[in-house]
Structures are given as C-alpha cells and as structure tokens.
Amino acid sequence: MAATRHPLTEGDVMPDLTLPGVDGQPIRLRDFAGKRLFIFMWASW
C-alpha cells in the first residue's frame, strides 16, 4: 500500500536539499544554517 505524502507547510522543519547552481557547483541548504533564508522559486519560461 502506498504511503501517504504530506506536502511541507508553515511550521514544518525544512529538510536539507542540494541543488546545482547555475555555475554547476552544488548549493546546500545546510550551508545556510543559522541564517534566515528566503527562497524565491521561479521559471525562465
């Protein structure tokens, strides 16, 4: 039986993520630990 998914929302702890930067270098959320972080999600199209 498939597990239920719970989308993250306000109040949840953000899991760590690693995404490639535009220069190819990895960007890790954990590198921003202790800082306030605003993430803007957009698309070029």
Partner 1 sequence: MRGFAEPYSFPTAVDSANLLGRLFDFDVVPNGLLIDEAGVIRFLHVGGFYLSRTEIRQQVDALLTADFAAGERPAFVVQEPLELETIRGELAHRPDDPDLLLALGDALLREDRARDAAAAFERAAEQRPDDWSVAFALGTALRRAGDRADALRWWHRALELDPQNFTVRKQIWREEHPELFYPTIDTDWQREQLVREGYRR
Which residues are at the interface with partner 1 (CB under 8 A)?
A: 2-3, 5, 7-22, 27, 29-30, 32-45
Least distance (Å) between residue 36 CB and partner 1: 6
Task: Give the Cα separation of 16 and 8 in Å (integer).
Answer: 13
Cα distance between residue 14 and residue 10, in whole Å: 9
In angstroms, what is the minimal distance from the CB of 31 to partner 1? 10
Q: Smallest distance, Å, CB 6 to partner 1?
A: 9
- SS3 (DSSP) at 32: helix
